[in-house]
Amino acid sequence: MSNTKLSIPPEFDTASKEERIAYVQELWDRIARDPENVPVPKHHKCILYESLEAYRVFATLQ
């Protein structure tokens, strides 16, 4: 699935689900500290723009 050269710590597999989620969240928080360097796929942007347009149309009907 991944081409990463980083290894997952062995204790990750024996951690509780809550601990694993917290670990992954901490990793993401570190990545997100520099949002301009987080790539956003084009199809995600398309969904965002479609949702924003739908919201604008809905808001004008109110």
What is the reported pLDDT for 2?
65
CA dist., res. 61 & res. 41, Å (int)? 31
Question: Which helix or strand (DSSP H or E) is residue 31 part of?
Answer: helix 17-32
Q: Let me know: does 12 contact 20? Beta carbons within 8 Å.
A: yes
Query: How do the domains of the chain map onto residue ranges?
Result: 10-61
What is the reported pLDDT for 54?
95
CA dist., res. 58 & res. 35, Å (int)? 29
Each residue of 2-51: pLDDT tens digit? Answer: 677 889 999 999 999 999 999 999 999 999 999 888 889 999 999 999 99
CA dist., res. 12 & res. 18, Å (int)? 11
